Every structure is written in C-alpha cells, then in structure tokens.
Amino acid sequence: MILLLFSGTVLAQGLVRGVVQDNNTNETLIGATVLIKGTTVGVTTNLDGSFLLIAPEGDHTILFHYVGYKEVKRDVSVKDGSTYNLGTILMESSSIGLNEVSVFASMAVDRETPVAVSTISSQTIEENLGSQEFPEVMNYSPSVYATKSGGGYGDA
C-alpha cells in the first residue's frame, strides 16, 4: 500500500501548453526553448510555434529562450492531471551591439617567399588532370609524391 501511494506522488504531473510568437510581427518562433527553471525538463516549439510541456505537480517558473530575443518568464501552478494553457507568449527581440570585425589575410606570392611554392593552374587541371583523383594531381607538383590508398578489394 505504501509503495502504491509513493509511486502516485512521484508520477503526479500536468501539462503546460502555449504558442511562442514575435511581439512585433506575430510570427511564430520555431525552435524556441521552453524550460522549467531549475530543472532539465524542457521542450522546443514546433513548426507552428506551439509547445506541450509535461511538468511535475507544483509551482514552477517557465523560461522561454530564443536566439536574438529577450528571455521571458511565466509562473505557473501545475496540478496533477490538469492542463494549463499559457496562451500566446510574446517575445521581444533584443539588439546586441557588436564592435567592428576586421579580417586580414595574406597569400603566398609565387617566388617572393622564402619557402618553395608550387602552383598547378586551373587550366592545367582542366586540360590534363581533370579526370584524375587528388593524389594523382598532387604528383604534378615538384618534390611531391602522393599515392592513393584504400578503397580496393580487402582494404579496410
């Protein structure tokens, strides 16, 4: 009898449902994360922005997360076997100020570097080497020896 009562309290749970949308455009937010604060219980919204969360009985704070949006919190009291509809959750987009990004690159120039550079032109590849595999093409570079391995009978 004690075992039956204990298992009933452990499994006491209810449902929390709703739809997550952008507050400006009213577009549904696909893949928004819906979590119960302080737990690992959560779901993501589906293609129409709706979610159905199985929550343990008790008072909880539901957190809504979506990239580029401010976090939303809703308090809910879940009762065993009941469904709690949060309705439409409107999320506000957040702007993040970023600094300028500068990308610098350098490329080896033929015969102006202290190391040997060999170039196989695209014309050479198209005219002479187009039907060959990469290791065979590499053999046309001075001081390079490449072989194919694998793919044959009995190779792992």
Domain 12-91 top-level CATH class: mainly beta
Share of the chain above pLDDT 70, in %: 74
119 vs 97: CA distance, rounded Å: 43
What is the pLDDT at residue 4? 46
What is the pLDDT at residue 16? 94
In a 3-state reduction of DSSP, which class is residue 18? strand
Measuring CA to CA, which residue among 34, 41, 33 is closest to residue 58? 41
Strand partners, 44: 33
Residue 95: is it exposed, middle or buried by C-beta count within 10 angstroms (0-12/13-18/19+)? Answer: exposed
> Strands of 72-78's sheet, edge to edge?
42-44, 33-36, 58-65, 72-78
Whether the pLDDT of residue 2 is over 60: the answer is: no
- The verdict on pTM exceeding 0.75 is no
Mean pLDDT of 40-67: 94
Helix (H) or strand (E) holding 77: strand 72-78
What is the pLDDT at residue 10? 54
Q: Which residues contact 13 (CB under 8 A, 6 or more apart)?
A: 54, 55, 56, 57, 78, 80
Domain ranges of the chain: 12-91, 108-143
Q: Which residues contact 126 (CB under 8 A, 6 or more apart)?
A: none
Q: What is the pLDDT of residues 66-90, one digit of tens each?
A: 998 999 999 999 999 899 999 999 9
